[in-house]
A and B are shown apart, each in its own frame.
Chain A
Amino acid sequence: MKDLPDFNTMSDADFRALAREFVETNYPDIPRYSLSRLHWDVVKPWYLILSDHGWICPTWPREYGGMGLAAGKHLILIEEFERFGAARVNDIGPVMLGPLLLKYGTDEQKAHYLPRILSGQDVWAQGYSEPGAGSDLAAVRCEAVLDGEEWVINGQKTWCTLGMDANWIFILARTDKSVKKQAGISFLLVPMDAPGVSIRNIENLELEAEFCEVFFDNVRVPAGNIVGGVNNGWTAAKALLGHERVFIGAPRLSAAAMARLEKIARRAGIWQDPVFRDRFVALQCDLADLGDLFETYVDKLRGGQAIGADVSMLKIFQSELYQRISELMMEVAAEGSGLTNPPEGDRQLHAAATYLSARPTTIFGGSTEIMRNMLAKAVLELPS
């Protein structure tokens, strides 16, 4: 294990410079500024470089092989990597499973799984959603029944991001049908090569297989593959969402899109057009306001305060702003908006790519509509 310094004692400016130098020095010869997620065979070198330097799990405590970054420093790291256009690695192990195991896992589970995530030996997929349980996640039907010393799993998971690249998947499975729907769910770890597991890729609107469905047909895993206790999966799964909800509302997607919008407008010869500028600065103001709202949450994280349900406002506005920027891009790109390939081979000038990549952001991680329902009840205290 790397013996890393405590980055949190550095000034923000120093850490920013360090993060920038790190990515500039170490980034391998793989695509930058990719709008779609890269598959494991492409992105693996970057994962392994991050792993070698001890930078693969920024938020894990240092004693478990992470960088132990506080929220504010983590944000700086993300910003600098985004600025460089570094590809997002398969981060479900580092971002989702790791913190969950740290909180709910047994000592054996931590000792076994965490090092394998750090080294890239295990690549994880997430199995929460099902065809009938998307935003209504508690409606999961995939079932696990205890048979002696093994769980027997039957059912289906879907929208597993980059699941075809994973060798392990964690799932929410129903383990008790007799209780309230949130109360009968458990969190299980399943190897993808177990007999009875099968995969079907799903092509998205960009004709790329970023997701897959995973089917479980009498799949057997040891009883010890449960995390957080029987029927406690809902609590464990929800606990993951704290800090991540702040970062999902970060202005970085919209900021990057604004930079691309400017490039497209310059290329189209309308950068000085007053009508375009009027709309551009309106979006720019929205982005700056989002940045200030985001900072209020980062300040809360820095100060160790809990993040409430109101944080979903960030995600709603961020994703809708990202879409509005992409909509103006399409208009500016004129007839070029309907092209399959980016003009002059520059991915940053391809309006359609941003437009399509902006579509899922109001759907994943809780759709905008569901989030508005939650906000209305939990924050505005409107009646049911």
Chain B
Amino acid sequence: MDGVTSEDWIDNARMIVDSARAIVPADGALDRIRATRFKEPGFDRAVMAEAGELGLFLMRVPEEDGGLGLGMREVCELARVLGGGLLPEPVLPAMMAASLLGPDLPEESMTGALVLTLAWQDATGDLGWQGGAADGRLSGRKVAVPGAEGAHLFAVTTSQGVALLPRDTVTITSANTLDGGKSSAITFDARADLIPCDHIQAVLQDASLAQSAYLLGLSERALDITLDYLRIRTQFDRPIGSFQALQHRATGMKISLELSRAAIFATARRFDTGADAMARARGAARCKLRAAELAMLVSREAVQMHGAMGITDEADIGLFIRKAMTEANVFGTPRALRAQLAQILDQ
């Protein structure tokens, strides 16, 4: 452990999590999430504004640039809470975009008055992020942009730096996602200033780790709901949670969950205390692999264990499997991540 700083991060994390309760209800009620589904623009801008006021977008901006300068452990604690609440707002993308922009982050995005999101991915199923660069102009396409329909500004990654594109310079093509939101591609061909940025890869690794923590939070909550159901639902005059077949499968979910939690927070600690590029690449990839597997495992087992109730839209557990399916492959499919790891095997 790292002495004093470990105490600091625990205090910081507690503070962040407490403040996040303003946007994720402590009672766990998912009414707002249901009400936001399948409505334009797929999330609530007022909640983004609240997240901005809480300072969440500034967590990864260094203190000298006016940010909070917090570590990935704090971010992962926050992401867990957001995941547990199935929050549809692009809080994490906005935070990561702010981390890329640093001193160039517009004031209105800090406060959440304008919604900023992150556009990094060149093609679906691909981990490339360098497309779209040109001298003085930016032209190209980015896919799987979160929250695009409700965003005012897009932080676009390129091989020559980051560009900040206003909404009226991009064309948005959206598809509906299973969780009731939108996944969008944006195309652009506009004059743009490129902000030199030497830490794009690192920020994308942070983002991938934060995504893993979101999936962890989602899975924790889905498992809790399922365990509660196993305790109270009776069949053959016994609670179904007393059946060994279900108990053993539940322990499989729990083991995957604890592996994921341990991997994410150990990796976050390494990120915070200075991991080298290779360790960062490996850590981010394997946390994402585990978390995707976890979320898919727990959510489909949860549906099965809820029996016929599990396949109805009125049961909350359905919200979790739809969210897991929407989020599991973001920041890399397991196949793409394993391919990336296989490439660095001999290095």
A289-B342 contact in complex given A313-B255, A376-B248, C-beta closer than 8 Å: no
CB of B258 within 8 A of CB of A293, answer: yes
Q: Which of B238, B242, B255, B341 contacts A285 (CB 8 A)?
A: B341
CB of A281 within 8 A of CB of B258, answer: no
Least CB separation from B290: chain A residue: A289
CB of A380 within 8 A of CB of B247, answer: yes
CB of B1 within 8 A of CB of A382, answer: no
Q: Which of A280, A289, A313, A375 contacts B260 (CB 8 A)?
A: A289
Determine the chain A residues whose CB is within 8 A of the CB of B207 once the complex forms: none
With an 8 A cutoff between CB atoms, is A295 at the interface? Answer: yes
A289-B345 contact in complex given A372-B248, A376-B248, A376-B250, C-beta closer than 8 Å: no
Give per-residue flags for B281-313: 1 if the beta carbon is below 8 A from chain A beta carbons, else 0: 010011001100000000000000000000000
CB of B247 within 8 A of CB of A292, answer: no
Q: Which of A140-162 contact B (CB under 8 A)?
A: none
Determine the chain A residues whose CB is within 8 A of the CB of B285 once the complex forms: 285
Between A278, A313, A376, A384, the greatest number of chain B beta carbons within 10 A of the residue's beta carbon is seen for A376
Determine the chain B residues whose CB is within 8 A of the CB of A345 once the complex forms: none
With an 8 A cutoff between CB atoms, is B117 at the interface? Answer: no
Least CB separation from A294: chain B residue: B262
A381-B263 contact in complex given A280-B345, A281-B341, A281-B345, C-beta closer than 8 Å: no
Determine the chain A residues whose CB is within 8 A of the CB of B345 once the complex forms: 277, 280-281
Determine the chain A residues whose CB is within 8 A of the CB of B247 once the complex forms: 372-373, 376-377, 380, 382
CB of A369 within 8 A of CB of B248, answer: yes
With an 8 A cutoff between CB atoms, is B241 at the interface? Answer: yes
Q: Which of A155-209 contact B (CB under 8 A)?
A: none
Determine the chain B residues whose CB is within 8 A of the CB of A313 once the complex forms: 251, 254-255, 258
CB of A382 within 8 A of CB of B289, answer: no
CA A369 to CA B248, docked complex, whole Å: 8
CB of B338 within 8 A of CB of A281, answer: yes
With an 8 A cutoff between CB atoms, is A383 at the interface? Answer: yes
Q: Which of B251, B260, B263, B338 contacts A380 (CB 8 A)?
A: B251
Between B251, B259, B289, the greatest number of chain A beta carbons within 10 A of the residue's beta carbon is seen for B251
CB of B227 within 8 A of CB of A382, answer: yes
CB of B342 within 8 A of CB of A288, answer: no
Give per-residue flags for B331-347: 1 if the beta carbon is below 8 A from chain A beta carbons, else 0: 00001001101100100
Determine the chain A residues whose CB is within 8 A of the CB of B191 once the complex forms: none
Give per-residue flags for B101-117: 1 if the beta carbon is below 8 A from chain A beta carbons, else 0: 00000000000000000
CA A174 to CA B93, docked complex, whole Å: 64
With an 8 A cutoff between CB atoms, is A4 at the interface? Answer: no
CB of B258 within 8 A of CB of A380, answer: no
Determine the chain A residues whose CB is within 8 A of the CB of B338 once the complex forms: 277-278, 281-282, 285
With an 8 A cutoff between CB atoms, is B239 at the interface? Answer: yes
Determine the chain A residues whose CB is within 8 A of the CB of B258 once the complex forms: 293, 310, 313
Q: Which of A274, A282, A292 contacts B267 (CB 8 A)?
A: A292
CB of A373 within 8 A of CB of B282, answer: no
Q: Which of A2-28 contact B (CB under 8 A)?
A: none
Between B238, B258, B339, the greatest number of chain A beta carbons within 10 A of the residue's beta carbon is seen for B258
Determine the chain B residues whose CB is within 8 A of the CB of A71 once the complex forms: none
Give per-residue flags for A276-319: 1 if the beta carbon is below 8 A from chain B beta carbons, else 0: 01101110111011101101100100000000001001001100
Least CB separation from B239: chain A residue: A383
With an 8 A cutoff between CB atoms, is A379 at the interface? Answer: yes
CB of A373 within 8 A of CB of B342, answer: no
A47 to chain B, nearest CB (A): 35
Q: Which of B227, B238, B250, B262 contacts A296 (CB 8 A)?
A: B262
Determine the chain A residues whose CB is within 8 A of the CB of B1 once the complex forms: 299
CA A282 to CA B289, docked complex, whole Å: 9
A382-B230 contact in complex given A277-B345, A288-B263, A295-B262, C-beta closer than 8 Å: yes
Q: How many residues of B are counted as interface, with CB atoms below 8 angstroms from the partner's CB atoms?
A: 34
A276 to chain B, nearest CB (A): 9
With an 8 A cutoff between CB atoms, is B231 at the interface? Answer: yes
CA A180 to CA B238, docked complex, whole Å: 26
With an 8 A cutoff between CB atoms, is B235 at the interface? Answer: no
Least CB separation from B223: chain A residue: A380
Determine the chain A residues whose CB is within 8 A of the CB of B250 once the complex forms: 376, 380, 382
CA A285 to CA B290, docked complex, whole Å: 8
CB of B342 within 8 A of CB of A380, answer: no
CA A282 to CA B293, docked complex, whole Å: 11
With an 8 A cutoff between CB atoms, is B266 at the interface? Answer: yes
CB of B342 within 8 A of CB of A280, answer: yes
CB of B251 within 8 A of CB of A376, answer: yes
CA A310 to CA B258, docked complex, whole Å: 10
B341 to chain A, nearest CB (A): 4
Q: Which of A194-245 contact B (CB under 8 A)?
A: none
CA A384 to CA B230, docked complex, whole Å: 11
CB of A292 within 8 A of CB of B263, answer: yes
CA A313 to CA B251, docked complex, whole Å: 8
Determine the chain A residues whose CB is within 8 A of the CB of B290 once the complex forms: 285, 289
Determine the chain B residues whose CB is within 8 A of the CB of A278 once the complex forms: 335, 338-339, 342
A285 to chain B, nearest CB (A): 4
Determine the chain B residues whose CB is within 8 A of the CB of A376 once the complex forms: 241, 244, 247-248, 250-251
CA A379 to CA B345, docked complex, whole Å: 37
Q: Which of B227, B231, B262 contacts A289 (CB 8 A)?
A: B262
A375-B251 contact in complex given A281-B338, A288-B263, A310-B258, C-beta closer than 8 Å: yes
Determine the chain B residues whose CB is within 8 A of the CB of A381 once the complex forms: 227, 231
CA A278 to CA B285, docked complex, whole Å: 13
CB of B339 within 8 A of CB of A289, answer: no
CB of B262 within 8 A of CB of A380, answer: no
Between B239, B247, B285, the greatest number of chain A beta carbons within 10 A of the residue's beta carbon is seen for B247
Q: Which of B305-328 contact A (CB under 8 A)?
A: none
Q: Which of A274, A284, A296, A382 contacts B241 (CB 8 A)?
A: A382
CA A139 to CA B251, docked complex, whole Å: 25
CA A382 to CA B260, docked complex, whole Å: 22
Least CB separation from A293: chain B residue: B262
CB of B341 within 8 A of CB of A382, answer: no
A317-B255 contact in complex given A288-B286, A381-B231, C-beta closer than 8 Å: yes
Determine the chain A residues whose CB is within 8 A of the CB of B260 once the complex forms: 289
Determine the chain B residues whose CB is within 8 A of the CB of A383 once the complex forms: 231, 238-239, 241-242
Contacts A285-B285, A285-B289, A310-B258 known; 5 new A-B pairs at CB < 8 A: A274-B339, A286-B259, A288-B263, A316-B255, A380-B227
Lowest 4 CB-CB distances: which A-B pairs, in order? A376-B247, A277-B342, A293-B262, A292-B266
Q: Can you list 6 pairs linking A and B with CB atoms under 8 Å apart?
A: A280-B342, A282-B338, A299-B1, A382-B227, A382-B246, A383-B238
